[in-house]
Structure 1
Amino acid sequence: MSRIALPRAARRLTIVAAVSATAVLLTAVPAAAHVEVESEKAKALAENVTISFEAESESDSAGITELKVVLPEGIKPADVTYDKGPEGWKFAAEDNGYTVRGPALKAGENAEYSITVRQLPDAKELAFKTLQTYSDKRTDRWIELDDQGESPAPVLKLEAAASDAKPADPSPSETASPTPTADDTAQPSSDKETAEEEKSDDDGLSAGAWIGIGVAAVIVVAAAFFVMRRRGGARS
C-alpha cells in the first residue's frame, strides 16, 4: 500500500515545489517604477505640442535631481522649449536632447515637468530615453525600447497626421552646433553611449532574479530529499 501511495505523494510534492518556485521567481523582483509621457495633441506633424512627463521615484532615502533625455529621431534640441517643472529646476539643451535638473526633490517624490515641441515628426510613436539621477548619485536608465523590459523608455503613441498637415520649415537655429557643456563628459550624451549602457544593463539578471532562482533551487532540493527519505522508510 505504501509503495502505491509513495509515487502519488512524490508527484504532489514535486508539483507543490514547482508552484512555490514559480511564485518565488515572480515575486523576487519588485515592480519597477518608470517614466510616463502623455500629450493631448499626440498626432503626427502636429505643431506646438506640449508633452508632459512624470518620472516615478524608486528611492525612500534619496530625491531625484536630474532627468537627462535623448530626443527621438525627427525632433531636434532646437525644436524644444521648457514649459514647467519642479521649483528651482533648469532646462539645458544637449547635443542630442536636453537635461532638466535642480535641487533634490523629497525622497519618494515623483518628478513632473513638461516641454513644448515645435512640430512632431511623421511617426507612429516616439521614444524618449531617460536617465534619472538621484541625490545619492544613483541613476535609473529608462532606455529599453521593449515595453516588456525591466527599464522601458517612455513612449508616446501618435495618431495619424491630419490630411492637410505638412512638415514645417526648419528653425533657423537648427543648423547651429550646440556649445558643448562640462556635463557632456560626465553623463552619456549620444545614442551610441546610451546603447552601450542598455547592452550592459541587459547582460545579466537582476539581483532579485538571482535570489529567486536560489530560493527555488533550495525548494527543489528539499523536495527531492523528502521523497528519498520517505522511500527509504517505506523499504525498511
Structure 2
Amino acid sequence: MSAHRSPLRRAGTVTALAAVGLFAAAGVASAHVTVHPESYAKGATDGQLTFRVPNEEDSAATTKVQVFLPTDHPVLGVLVSPHDGWTPKVTTTKLKTPVKTDDGTITEAVSEITWTGGKIGAGQYEDFDVAFGQLPDDTDQLTFKALQTYSDGKTVRWIEQAQSGDDEPENPAPVVKLTAKGAGGSESGEQSPAASTATASAAKSSASGDSASDSTARGLGIAGLVVGVLGLAAAAFALVRARSARS
C-alpha cells in the first residue's frame, strides 16, 4: 500500500516546495522602504503618509530610519505621529522659494525626519505615520529618499530614482504620484469633506497592507496553491488508473 501512495506523496512534496518558493520570491521583491498611499491629488490637504520599513537582514535589526522630504516642492504642515519605542527628530530648512498659502507665506518646511531608539527585527516591519497640512500642486510626484541603518552598522540607501522606461532600481526611493484634482477638489487644491474622507480611508487601507506589492504577493501565493491542487489531482488520477489496470 505504501508503494502505491508514494507518487501522491512525492507530488504533494514537490508542489509544497514550489509554493514556498513563490511566497519567498514575492517577499524578497517587496522588501524595500515604501510610502503609502502611492498617489494623492495635487494640493491635497489634511492627509497622511505612511512610510513602511521592512527588515531584510537575518542577523541584524533596524535601529534607525531617516526620511528626507523634498524642499523644492515642499510638504507643508508636517506632524509626526508618536510611535512606541521610537524617538523622532524633525529637521526644518529655510525654503529657497517661499510658498504663499491662505494662512500666509511659508518660509520654512520639514526636510528630514529621523526615528531612533526602536528595533525592527528579522522578518518584521514598522509603519511610521506622518500627517501633512498641504501637498504641492506644481509637480507630478514627490520623492522621499530614505536611509535604513542596522544594528551591525550597515546602512541601506533607498535613494535611487527610476528613469522613464527603465526597470525599478535596486534601491528605489519611496515615491508618491500627484494626480490632477478630481471633481471634489477646489482650484486651491483643497479637497471636499467627502474627498478628504476617501483619501484618509485609502491611506489607512494602504498602511494596513493593502498595497500593490501585497496584492502581487497574494496573487503569486494563490497561483502556487492552484498549481498544488492540480498536481495533487494529477497524481490521484494516475494512482486510480494504476489500480484499475491491476484489477
Range class of TM-score, shorter chain: 0.5 to 0.7
> Cα offset for 1:74?
2.1
Secondary structure, in 3 states, of the residue corresponding to 2:179?
Answer: coil
Question: Aligned partners of 2:128 and 2:30: how far apart in 1?
Answer: 20
Match of 2:168 in 1: 148
Q: Does structure 1 conserve the Cα–Cα contact (< 8 Å) formed by 2:143 and 2:174?
A: yes
Question: Aligned partners of 1:133 and 1:165: how far apart in 2?
Answer: 41
1:90 and 2:87 equivalent?
Answer: yes
> Cα offset for 1:103?
2.1
Q: Does structure 2 conserve the Cα–Cα contact (< 8 Å) formed by 1:45 and 1:119?
A: yes
Residues 150-195 of structure 1, C-alpha deviations (whole Å, 9 max, x = no match): 1110111122135524279xxxxxxxxxxxxxxxxxxxxxxxxxxx
1:80 and 2:78 equivalent?
Answer: yes
Question: Aligned partners of 2:82 and 2:52: how far apart in 1?
Answer: 12
Secondary structure, in 3 states, of the residue corresponding to 1:102?
Answer: strand
> Cα offset for 1:56?
1.7
Question: Aligned partners of 1:112 and 1:50: how far apart in 2?
Answer: 12
Aligned pair partner of 2:67 in 52, 60, 69 = 69
> Cα offset for 1:75?
2.0
> Cα offset for 1:31?
4.8
RMSD (Å), alpha carbons: 2.6
Question: Aligned partners of 1:36 and 1:154: how far apart in 2?
Answer: 5
Secondary structure, in 3 states, of the residue corresponding to 2:119?
Answer: coil
> Cα offset for 1:105?
2.4
Identity %: 36
> Cα offset for 1:60?
0.9
2:116 alignment partner AA: R
Match of 1:161 in 2: 181
Secondary structure, in 3 states, of the residue corresponding to 1:79?
Answer: coil
Question: Aligned partners of 1:130 and 1:34: how far apart in 2?
Answer: 10
TM-score (norm 2): 0.50
Question: Aligned partners of 2:36 and 2:42: how far apart in 1?
Answer: 14
Question: Aligned partners of 2:142 and 2:158: how far apart in 1?
Answer: 14
Where in structure 1 are there 5+ consecutive unaligned residues? 1-26, 169-236
Question: Aligned partners of 2:30 and 2:155: how far apart in 1?
Answer: 14
Q: Does structure 1 conserve the Cα–Cα contact (< 8 Å) formed by 2:62 and 2:120?
A: yes
Q: How does 1:79-228 map to 2 (within 5 A)?
A: 79-85=77-83, 87-94=84-91, 95=93, 96-122=111-137, 123-146=139-162, 148-162=168-182, 164-166=186-188
Q: Does structure 2 conserve the Cα–Cα contact (< 8 Å) formed by 1:71 and 1:128?
A: yes
What is the count of residue pairs matched by the alignment?
138
Distance 1:139 1:40, change over 3 A: closer
> Cα offset for 1:41?
7.5
Residues 189-209 of structure 1, C-alpha deviations (whole Å, 9 max, x = no match): xxxxxxxxxxxxxxxxxxxxx
Question: Aligned partners of 1:126 and 1:116: how far apart in 2?
Answer: 15
Question: Aligned partners of 2:144 and 2:129: how far apart in 1?
Answer: 13
Which portions of structure 1, spanning 4 or more consecutive aligned residues, are displaced by more than 6 angstroms?
Answer: none
> Cα offset for 1:46?
0.8
Distance 1:32 1:48, change over 3 A: closer
Residues 132-160 of structure 1, C-alpha deviations (whole Å, 9 max, x = no match): 11111111100001162111101111221
Q: Does structure 1 conserve the Cα–Cα contact (< 8 Å) formed by 2:90 and 2:114?
A: yes
